[in-house]
Amino acid sequence: MKCPFCGYPNTKVQDSRSIENGLVIRRRRICPNCGAKFTTYERFEGGTLMVVKKDGRREKFSRDKVMGGIIKACEKRPISMEKIEEITNALEARAKKRGKEISTAEIGEMIMNELRKLDQVAYVRFASVYRDFRDIDQFIEEIGKLKGERKNG
């Protein structure tokens, strides 16, 4: 693989690991030219998964969009990139199991369920954008639900 830092064409694999129940291979690489270290991931890409938008348009599933939304919600929270990648990978796998199409509503709900378990602040941040909160009362209502879950759980 080509080095993303200096463009040297033949980087070396230092370590390979199977992750996510063998569905992904994580490779740590080093460039013999500049010494840069980086990680690559190898995963199976099956058929194209399409996302059905609210207005009925369809577009190709974007793992980067899902991860970007989770990263924004988790900003300045004690959540590692490894955990964010783990959530993204699990969501992508679940989405692909559902078939060739999935709605943005289903994706949003899956993300919210994961964030609710992981970090309540990240959950409320994501929910505020996903559910398009218009005023403070919607925040208060959502926080009230979380408090109720904590008392009952």
pLDDT digits (tens, 9 = 90+) for 81-121: 989 999 998 898 888 888 889 999 999 999 999 999 999 99
Q: What is the pLDDT of residue 144?
A: 87
Q: What is the pLDDT of residue 56?
A: 94
SS3 (DSSP) at 9: coil
Q: With beta carbons less than 8 A apart as the criterion, state whether 56 and 40 touch.
A: no
Domains in the chain: boundaries? 1-44, 47-152
Residues β-bridged to residue 27: 16, 40
Helix axes 104-118, 63-74, angle to 10 degrees: 40
Q: What is the pLDDT of residue 22?
A: 77
Q: What is the pLDDT of residue 145?
A: 86
How high is the mean pLDDT in each 10-residue block of the chain (153 residues)?
96 91 87 96 79 94 94 96 91 87 94 93 90 85 84 70
pTM for the model stands at 0.68
Cα atoms in the Cβ-side hemisphere of radius 13 Å centred on 23? 11
DSSP 8-state class, residue 88:
H
What is the C-alpha separation between 144 and 140, in angstroms, rounded?
A: 6
Strand ranges across the sheet with 24-30: 12-19, 24-30, 37-43
Q: What is the pLDDT of residue 46?
A: 65
The amino acid present at 118, given as its one-letter code, is: L
SS3 (DSSP) at 128: helix
DSSP 8-state class, residue 147:
H
What is the C-alpha separation between 40 and 83, in angstroms, rounded?
A: 16
The end-to-end CA distance of the chain, in Å, is: 48
Q: What is the pLDDT of residue 15?
A: 95
Q: What is the pLDDT of residue 28?
A: 96
